[in-house]
Chains A and B, each alone.
Chain A
Amino acid sequence: MPAASDFRALERRNRRDTVMLIGAFVIVFLLIGCAFDFLAGTLQIHQGHIYGAPIFMVLALIFASVQSTVSYFGGAPLILLSVHAQALTPDTPKHQMVLDVIQEMALASRLPVPKAYFIPDPAPNAFATGRNPEHSVICVTQGLIDNMDREELQGVIGHEMSHIADYDIRTMMMVAVLVGGIAMLSDFMVRMSFFNRNDRDSDHRDGGIIVILMIVLAVIAPMLSQLIAMAVSREREYLADASAVEFTRNPRALLRALQRIAETESPLKEGVRGTAHLFIVNPLAANADDDGGFFASLLSTHPPLRKRIERLQAMLAAPTAAASLSDRA
């Protein structure tokens, strides 16, 4: 079983994805800053030449760098804060069991034991985040703790451990935090552009075009960021499912967990729009089993549960398929 080398290849891909993500993030911010410069008049076009000092572009560059750094080092606490997670302590037998299972799966995957958190919400779900395995966090909902037996919990935690092992958590964390940043700024921009239009569109013909460009950008930016979030997460779920089987040596564990989630699925109450791609099953769907046709599946952060269950059933039928499935990365 070439688990170790597989994880290394996935880790390399995630490193590349993270660098590209930060690059795209900086470029988007530079474009936004550029739009601001034209709007505020700090950059002006006269007879095909550009004049002025790009103050807003410089500010945007500084902001994007600071935001990226903060996201890298402080992303996990930020995410935990935004989903209202609390530290998991062995205060009840069930919580003790979760801590034990996390330790077991850390042993199975030969990784440091992640910190444990939980969300007091009845919808069964879980996610992992952090910048590397040494600084990783696993967060489960109270609903997951209540609904799963030990074996099923092993499957779910095994799934999360594999996201940690191949550095999915870092890419996903950066997506979550940076996407949040872009959405915030484009909201701000839409407000600014309406505010500014009244007093300057009569004497600036270029300004009019810029304003339109800005609005387009303001609309596209959050969509773009949402698309990034989706593109990066769907096939990761299949791979993490396969690795969970590798860690637990038991396809039935995760299979039963997913089946149970499919039965009891209810959306998470907490504000999770920016973090939906982190979770093991889509926390926004009323019914995670629903792939809702071509467009819905194109825009979905998660493969439909039904397809994931089918793949696990195939592994159960042919135990060696588990290894070959994880090879296909």
Chain B
Amino acid sequence: MTILLIVIVVLVIYVIAAYNSLVSAKNQVDNAWRQIDVQLKRRHDLIPNLVEAVKGFMNFERETLTQVVEARAKAVNAPDQASRMAAENQITAGMGKLLAVMENYPQLKSDQNVMQLQEELTTTENQIAFSRQAYNDAVLTLNTRTERFPGNLIATNFGFKSADYFKAAPEDQAVPKVDLGLTPRA
């Protein structure tokens, strides 16, 4: 009788602990996703400023700039998540290029507003990259917990599902290194 009681208590404690760890893993994933969203929105807000700042400098990468602005419009008005992410990936590619070529324009570099904006854009790009990376780390933790035995029994019973990894577009692969373009490589 006592033994049975102990077994039941231990089991209940295990289920509670496993359930709570699944909840915290899921919250981490949700939170990481929100972080990406925050950064993407911040980038949307910065793009008009960028256009405004470089407007005076004729012919500054006009083509890339137009691409970025168009992609932003597409992202803001995207009907679904997939097309929005495709547009965001286009912005990322364009921004990487813009930030890299900005170094070649001495007039831009002497403008303090532009410099400030460049820092803001660089950190936003980096934060997008790092929050995607953090999201994938969080997904890895959640998926490991939902798939591994015996955690998977609890996960299925309480309706925890594995989350999808954030897959970068092919042209997006080099994103975390966007700042390399800003400094001469040693």
A-B complex is real: yes
Q: Cβ of B134 and Cβ of A108 under 8 Å apart? A: yes
Contacts of B183 in A (CB 8 A): 149-151
User: A84–B115 Cα gap in the complex (Å)?
Assistant: 31
User: A151–B184 Cα gap in the complex (Å)?
Assistant: 11
A293 at the interface (CB under 8 A from B): no
B179 at the interface (CB under 8 A from A): yes
Q: Which of B28, B126, B186 contacts A104 (CB 8 A)?
A: B126
Contacts of A249 in B (CB 8 A): 133, 176
B140 at the interface (CB under 8 A from A): yes
Residues 110-160 of B contacting A (Cβ, < 8 Å): 115-116, 119-120, 122-123, 126-127, 130-131, 133-134, 137-138, 140-141
Q: Which of B32, B123, B137, B141 contacts A100 (CB 8 A)?
A: B123
Q: Cβ of A93 and Cβ of B119 under 8 Å apart? A: yes
Given A3-B137, A107-B35, A97 contacting B119 (CB threshold 8 A): yes
Sorting the interface of chain A by its residue count into under 10, 10 to 19, 20 to 34 or 35 or more gives 20 to 34
Q: Cβ of A107 and Cβ of B127 under 8 Å apart? A: yes
Residues 78-111 of A contacting B (Cβ, < 8 Å): 93, 96-97, 100-101, 103-105, 107-110
Main secondary structure of the interface of A (DSSP, over half): helix
User: A3–B141 Cα gap in the complex (Å)?
Assistant: 9
State the Cβ distance, A139 to closest chain B Cβ, in Å. 20
User: A58–B180 Cα gap in the complex (Å)?
Assistant: 60
Q: Which residues of B contact A (CB under 8 A)?
A: 28, 32, 35, 115-116, 119-120, 122-123, 126-127, 130-131, 133-134, 137-138, 140-141, 176-177, 179-180, 182-183, 186
Q: Which residues of A contact B (CB under 8 A)?
A: 1, 3-4, 93, 96-97, 100-101, 103-105, 107-110, 149-151, 154, 247-250, 256
The 7 tightest CB contacts between A and B, nearest first, are A100-B123, A108-B130, A149-B183, A107-B130, A104-B126, A110-B134, A4-B141
Q: List 12 A-B contacts (CB under 8 A).
A: A97-B119, A100-B126, A101-B123, A107-B35, A107-B134, A110-B28, A110-B32, A149-B183, A151-B180, A247-B130, A249-B133, A249-B176
